[in-house]
Every structure is written in structure tokens, then in C-alpha cells.
């Protein structure tokens, strides 16, 4: 189905509004969930973060922002699904249009702005899911990605910690692992929180809050941007070790537009935002090698950014990733893509 889907995408789907297409595709996935659940599992289990993942491939944050289709996505072949980014308060995100395809680059530019239903609503859905799992329904490993509410001043450290703390308090009890997102380019000032002197206290606060509301240790990771300088990446790695983090996710989207095949006018028309997809692969792999060289085997590393083929996924694992994630390739390659990558990594 890979080639037929690509032809369908290039000749029909690529001409539809990207955000509307996303919602339509997600509705179709959820509707197909009962049939998908009967399909045999894919890939081979892998142990990481003190958990057993059904396979190495996960769906990156951003696709299921509001925890409405976790198990349907798992049935497609994703061994873990990372929901969010969820913020302490519900927010609509940035004005539309805010999602753009660069088809020639197999890339996407987004400036969504953490549009989501807020931590309270998402927690309610996760409680319902947990109740179903207790009755015997299993699904993928669940990651919960949390970020800063836009109206919270980024220069008020106490307010920032309280905002992340609210999300942690509500969501950590349902998460298999928790991710602190300080690397989206679409919330003003958010990336300033990657500075070690600000990130350290924030991570310590999230860790303490999670421990206070759970009777188990929820693994905690941080997601970083590819646009950090190498020395800053190493600084985050050192901080992760010092503060007892369980892992790092590398990388988020990039604000760089270097080396694109798309016509400059098309890129200019799309405007600002985070670029994801194939052009990100090289830098994301470099960052992974830097991190693994610094932390050795002491942290779990999740590689994301530009993974399109089985070879891409293998290269990221060889660079040091314990697990990998995708999102943009899922859009371009279609519903059989997760199974193809998961099986390919196990071959």
C-alpha cells in the first residue's frame, strides 16, 4: 500500500487543507480501531525506562494532542504513543492557517501553538482509558508531553513551575512516562527554558510533583531542540545526569530553513514555525550521537526528527537511540508506515 498511498497523497491529499486533513484522517483511524485491534502485533519488545515497549517505534507528540485515540494509534503498529503537548490551561493555539506542507521536502511547517483541551480534560480521558485497561484492554506505552500555557510569563520562574506543576499533578498518575517540553518554537519565550540555570529548577519541581501524586516512579524526560549549539546540548546532557532524569528526546522541530528543495516563495508563504520531516534527519542524528557520547548508557535516548525509512530508523539506533519516534513521515507515507518501520527494525 506504500506506493498507492503516496500517489493518493501527492495527487489528492496534498491539495487539501493540512489541518482539516489531519482531523479527517484521525477520525478514520479511530473509527477503524475495532478492526485494527484484531491485527497481529508488530516488531519485537524492547526494554527502556524500566518499561517493556512492544517495539522501538513510537508516535511523537503533536498528533494526538488531547488523548482521544491512543489505542487506535497503537493498533496501527506504534509501540508507544506520546500525547500532547498538554498545557495546564486549555488554549486555542495560534490563528489559522498554522500548518503547511512542503511536499518536495517531505516536510511540514507548523505554528500550532500548543492548541489543546488543557490538563484537566485530558486527565479525565486518561482516567477512562486506565479503567478500560484494568478490565483487560491493553494498548501502547503512553507518554505524556507537557508544556507551558501561553499566557504564563516565561520570565516568571515561579509561575512557569506552577503551570508545569499543575499539568504534572493531574497527568502523572496516568502516564507511563512524562516529558517536559521546553523546545517548541511556537510558544513565545519557551525555548529560553532550555538554559541550564532555568531548566534545572523546573525539572526538579516536576520530579517532586510527580513523586508526590504517584505511588511509583514515573520516568521523566526532557525534549530538546535541534537548534541548540553543541555545547548547550552537552550542558543539557550533564544536567539530565545531575538531576536524575531518566532520558532525553532529541529532537523537536527546527526553525532553520537551510537546504530545502522547495521553492523559496513556497517556504516564505508558509511563514514562521517549526520545520519537521526529512530535512531534519541529519541534525537530529548528530544531536543523538552527541548525547550518547556524553551520557553513555546512563540515560534512555529517544530519537525523533526526519525518520522516514527503515534505514533512517536503524541509523538513529546506531547513533545511540534506544527508541525512535515519527510523525511527519506518518503523514506522507500512510497507515501502513508504522508497521513497516517497526518490523524493519526487528528484522
Does 150 appear as a known binding residue? Answer: no
Does 111 appear as a known binding residue? Answer: yes
On whether the CB atoms of residues 209 and 146 are closer than 8 A, the answer is: no
Does 65 appear as a known binding residue? Answer: yes
Does 271 appear as a known binding residue? Answer: no
C-alpha cell at position 65:
494532542
Phi/psi of residue 273, each to 5°?
A: 140, 180
CA 44, 340, 300, 282: dihedral to nearest 10 degrees?
150
Does 127 appear as a known binding residue? Answer: no
Does 61 appear as a known binding residue? Answer: yes
Does 26 appear as a known binding residue? Answer: no
Alpha-helical runs (H) found in the chain: 2-11, 18-31, 33-36, 70-75, 119-134, 157-171, 196-213, 230-242, 264-270, 281-295, 310-319, 328-333, 337-346
Instruction: Give which of 267, 284, 150 is closest to 228, Cα–Cα.
Output: 284
The CA distances from residue 215 to 106, 162, 171, 210, in Å, are: 43, 21, 14, 9
Does 328 appear as a known binding residue? Answer: yes
Does 309 appear as a known binding residue? Answer: no
Does 64 appear as a known binding residue? Answer: yes
Distance CA 127, CA 38 (A): 24
Does 223 appear as a known binding residue? Answer: yes
- Tell me which H or E stretch contains 101: strand 99-102
Phi/psi of residue 38, each to 5°?
A: -85, -5
269 burial type by CB count under 10 A (0-12 exposed, 13-18 middle, 19+ buried): exposed
Distance CA 257, CA 259 (A): 7
Collapsing DSSP states into helix, strand and coil, what is residue 325?
Answer: strand
Does 327 appear as a known binding residue? Answer: yes
Does 53 appear as a known binding residue? Answer: no
Does 277 appear as a known binding residue? Answer: yes
Does 166 appear as a known binding residue? Answer: no
Does 254 appear as a known binding residue? Answer: no
346 assigned to active site: no
Does 261 appear as a known binding residue? Answer: no
Does 187 appear as a known binding residue? Answer: no
C-alpha cell at position 280:
531534519
Distance CA 186, CA 278 (A): 20
| Choice among 167, 183, 184, 262 that is catalytic | 184
Distance CA 84, CA 147 (A): 8
Distance CA 289, CA 294 (A): 9
Residues labelled as active-site residues: 184
List, as residue ranges, the binding site for FMN.
61-65, 85, 145, 181, 223, 251, 277, 306, 327-328
List, as residue ranges, the binding site for substrate.
65, 110-114, 181, 186, 252-253
List, as residue ranges, the binding site.
61-65, 85, 110-114, 145, 181, 186, 223, 251-253, 277, 306, 327-328
Amino acid at each position: 500500500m506504500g506506493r498507492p498511498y503516496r500517489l493518493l497523497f501527492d495527487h489528492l491529499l496534498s491539495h487539501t487543507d493540512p489541518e482539516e486533513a489531519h482531523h479527517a484522517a484521525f477520525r478514520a483511524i479511530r473509527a477503524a480501531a475495532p478492526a485494527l485491534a484484531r491485527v497481529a502485533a508488530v516488531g519485537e519488545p524492547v526494554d527502556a525506562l524500566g518499561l517493556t515497549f512492544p517495539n522501538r517505534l513510537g508516535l511523537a507528540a503533536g498528533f494526538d494532542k488531547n488523548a482521544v485515540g491512543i489505542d487506535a494509534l497503537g493498533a496501527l503498529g506504534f509501540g508507544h504513543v506520546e500525547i500532547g503537548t498538554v498545557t495546564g490551561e486549555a488554549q486555542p493555539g495560534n490563528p489559522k492557517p498554522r500548518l503547511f506542507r512542503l511536499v518536495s521536502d517531505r516536510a511540514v511547517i507548523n505554528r500550532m501553538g500548543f492548541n489543546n483541551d488543557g490538563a484537566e480534560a485530558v486527565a479525565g480521558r486518561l482516567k477512562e482509558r486506565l479503567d478500560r485497561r484494568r478490565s483487560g484492554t491493553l494498548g501502547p506505552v503512553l507518554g505524556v508531553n507537557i508544556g507551558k500555557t501561553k499566557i504564563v510569563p516565561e520570565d516568571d520562574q515561579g509561575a512557569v513551575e506552577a503551570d508545569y506543576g499543575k499539568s504534572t499533578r493531574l497527568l502523572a498518575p496516568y502516564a507511563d512516562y512524562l516529558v517536559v517540553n521546553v523546545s517548541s518554537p511556537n510558544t513565545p519565550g519557551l525555548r529560553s527554558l532550555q538554559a541550564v540555570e532555568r531548566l534545572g529548577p523546573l525539572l526538579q519541581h516536576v520530579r517532586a510533583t510527580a513523586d508526590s501524586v504517584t505511588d511509583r516512579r514515573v520516568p521523566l524526560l526532557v525534549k530538546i531542540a535541534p537548534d541548540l549549539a553543541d555545547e548547550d546540548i552537552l550542558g543539557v546532557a550533564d544536567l539530565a545526569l545531575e538531576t536524575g532524569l531518566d532520558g532525553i528526546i532529541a529532537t523537536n522541530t527546527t526553525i532553520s530553513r537551510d537546504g530545502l528543495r522547495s521553492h523559496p516563495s513556497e517556504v516564505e508563504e508558509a511563514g514562521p514555525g517549526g520545520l519537521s520531516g526529512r530535512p531534519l534527519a541529519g541534525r537530529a542524528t548528530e544531536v543523538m550521537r552527541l548525547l550518547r557520547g556524553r551520557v553513555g548508557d546512563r540515560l534512555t535516548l529517544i530519537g525523533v526528527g526526519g525518520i522516514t525509512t527503515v534505514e533512517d530508523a536503524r541509523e538513529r539506533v546506531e547513533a545511540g537511540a534506544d527508541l525512535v519516534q515519527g510523525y511527519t513521515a506518518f503523514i506522507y507515507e500512510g497507515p501502513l508506515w508504522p508497521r513497516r518501520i517497526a518490523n524493519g527494525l526487528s528484522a
